[in-house]
Structure 1
Amino acid sequence: MIGRMLMIVALMFIVAVPTMAQGDYDRNSPEFRENTSQFMCLCGCGQDHFECNMEGCGLNEQFKTEILEMMNDDGYDKSEIKEHYVAMYGEVILTAPEKSGFSLTAWVTPFILLGGAGGGIIYLIRKWVRKSKQLMKPELPNGLEDETESDILHSLIDEERKKHF
């Protein structure tokens, strides 16, 4: 009976400890890295907020402190933090575009256009090459073309054979 009670208390302690520690994020936690790396630093360094190491960037430290407060004090998750900063700065702050709506169209359209233009250029080049081959080759009646080429080839081979043998 006492063993069963100790087991229940131990089980409750095991279950309760991770939930209590859930709000204690620091700058080395993977959750903090995920949250800060989804935003571009606004100091002009071109890095995300987690990686920004530009000297004199006061924006980065303030931003990291705000995110830690949101995670620990307010209990915000990744999507809520993202919504907060997108509402404040717009989609410009994101390191990767949204996968919906105009953002997706704006990122995909140039690649589609480049692929179509490349395919069109290849088609035109092949068409021009075919046309130039037809212009360079004299038109002979059907069947005669193969015989004429074969006769010329055999006569050249015979001439060379006579010269050397």
Structure 2
Amino acid sequence: MIKRIIALLMVMTFAALPVFATGTYDFNSPEFRQSAQQYMCLCGCGQDHLECNMDGCGLNDSFKTEILEKLNDGWTQDEIKDFYVGMYGEVILTAPEKSGFSLTAWITPFAVLGVAGVGVVLLIRKWVNNAQLILEEVTVDSNDDVDETEDEVLRSIIDKERKKYY
């Protein structure tokens, strides 16, 4: 009986832990930092909202405060992301979505570059093979000419020597 009561108390304690874990977030919490790094600052500095340190950038402070309020209100990072993408479009994101046109736009240049590289390698191999075939033909033809010339010279020398002694 006591084991059952202890087990019941343990289950109730572990069930209550997520309620205590959803405390308030601050500017140093990992959830806030991860969320703020997802969005580009709109002041033109080219950095994410966590790293933006331009003087006079009023957008960054208000944006950080807004993200922090949404996290403390119970919004998930995906909900916050959907909210800002709906408001500003995908331009606000530091990394593109991994679906649809964004994925195509990021993959296509690398695919074209890869196909072009393979094409260049195949073209160079073809040129090298053709050059080797031409070189072999020239070598074989020149060897035949040299052999015939040598044979004629040797025959003429042999004929001269034969005439001398016979």
TM-score over 0.5 for the pair:
yes
Verify: 1:65 aligned to 2:79, yes or no.
Answer: no
Equivalent in the alignment of 2:55: 55
- 1:23–1:71: 8 Å Cα contact kept in structure 2? no
Verify: 1:135 aligned to 2:134, yes or no.
Answer: yes
SS of alignment partner, residue 140 of structure 1 = helix
Count of residues paired in the alignment = 143
Equivalent in the alignment of 2:80: 81
Identity among equivalent pairs (%): 60
Output one character per residue of 1:94-130: Cα deviation in whole Å (capped at 9) or x when no partner. Answer: 1111111111111111100000001001111111111
How many angstroms apart in 2 are the aligned matches of 1:117 and 1:6? Answer: 69
Q: Segments of 4+ in structure 1 off by > 6 A?
A: 4-11
Equivalent in the alignment of 2:161: none
How many angstroms apart in 2 are the aligned matches of 1:38 and 1:72? Answer: 18
Deviation of 1:139 (Å): 5.8
TM-score (norm 2): 0.73
RMSD, aligned α-carbons = 2.8
Deviation of 1:63 (Å): 0.4
Q: Which amino acid aligns with 1:79?
A: D
Rg comparison, structure with higher value: 2
Deviation of 1:136 (Å): 2.5
1:96-115 correspondence runs (5 A): 96-115=95-114
Where structure 2 has 5 or more consecutive residues not aligned to the other structure, the ranges are 148-166
Equivalent in the alignment of 1:159: none
